[in-house]
Structure 1
Amino acid sequence: MNKLTILPQGGLGNRMRVLESAIYFCHQFNYKLKVIWINNDDLGCNLEDIFESIGIDYSKPKTLFEYNFYKYFCRYKLLKYLPSLYSTFGLLLYDKVLLDLNIKSFNGDIDIKIVKDKHNLFISTCYPFFQFPNYNNFLLKKSLSEDLSLLKKNLGESYFGIHFRGTDNSKALKNSPLEKYITAIEKILESDSNSIFFLATDEEKVKKKMKLIFGEKIQMFSSSLNRNTKEGIHDAVLELYCLANAHTIICSPFSSFSDTAQLIDKKKRIILIQ
């Protein structure tokens, strides 16, 4: 039986798009899926703590030794800077090993000729590698779904979503500075002073500044910005789905979090800040 072992890297948005790629790939080419989901500083929460289902059956590491092997030996920086070494070593365990460098060369869709007759694949990446239309395969845990329903009710049916990515995303900070977001919001309010905005961001100082400028026009909820905890990831999931529920998303083109929100739930307008 063909098997795909997937080790998604990065934060929530990155991992969701890698998983969705894997799901559609497995359905299309009849592969069994194994997910190596590592808790680390980027995402400190089990997959099963977020989603009731991802739309496909999958296996996990069977032992703590196997889990720790991938956690410590397959750290993202090692895979990123030593791809040749890992690709060579990986062939002792797999028929084919694909890492970021390979995935980026496919330009969004895996080259099927490369994996033809490869019955045991290993892919570790933060990038999507197989086309998918949306994230409808993911079913949130009941507790998260209930919290989300309450937040949506408080926000109402019609609002703009804003995602400002800060912290370590230097490309987003450079090309999509906060001042450009403020200008875009001011223009919207000039056209419709009744507009409401929901802000999702990993920067506490941005929350304070936006609230100071726009007052009650900016809605947000008090969330943990610590993504290496279960609480922090749960809050990130709620922000992601509230962002996805907006009729329009104002965001940077350099964030997987925003990209993920665009493919969740209903169709929406996108205003790119760049």
Structure 2
Amino acid sequence: MKIPKLISFKKIEKFITMKFKLFLSLFLCLVFSTAFAQHKKFKFIDELCEYEGTYDSKKYTEQQLKDTYNLYYGESWLLSAADYRHRSKPTEQVLTELKTEYQTKRAKLKGFQLVKNPVFISFRDSLVLSMDQEYLAKSALVKALKDPKALLEYKAPDSCAINYTKPLVEGGEALLKAYEVLTKYQMKNNGDPQRLYDKYLSNIQSSQKYEAAFNEVIIYGWWNCVNHFIPRPTYDARFSENYHKLFIKVDTLDCDEP
């Protein structure tokens, strides 16, 4: 009867070492491949350059990056439907278009999947507040083209109400006086004051002087005053800086000449 040879300790040690190295290699490959899979690319642009950012997909989704980007760099959030500089459309049609634009843009803003960051959230809140106020003001403006008393529906700041809302609603000589005061104010801040004054004289000497005065005062007086007091979000470097920080690294692909 043969006695089996005993495996030496060195062979056992070598076998275990090989197995461990194989396991370690497989483990490291898995770790690196998983980490690599988490890193994704996202392209975006600002006023001057195009970038490609590398981000951790475990922290943010591509949709979050897109929506956060579009919040700041995307479409204009101003309401353009109310073309108050002429009366080419019926009042009700303009009001309907304005309401549709307002509701669509507001819903889009509120539906954005933003990266959870106070700067981004605060910016959206400011945009929504601004849009709400702009909608109310422009609605009153459009209605006032047909019925000046509609301006009373909007709670304008005192300076706007006294200088413009009151004479626009009263009409007559009060309106003409407001037009005169407005023209003199505009002349102080205009590169061609004589042109403004000539236009003023032409308007008040025409048979349609009250209509002309109303159009000038409601646009360049009332609207400019009210618009000045509508709270607007601040466009500054904070948003861009915080957005760039979302990425592990950001490569500049191309830039326009400044």
Q: One fold, TM greater than 0.5?
A: no
TM-score by length of 2: 0.24
Higher gyration radius (CA): 2
Instruction: Give the TM-score, by structure 1 length.
Output: 0.23
More helix by share: 2
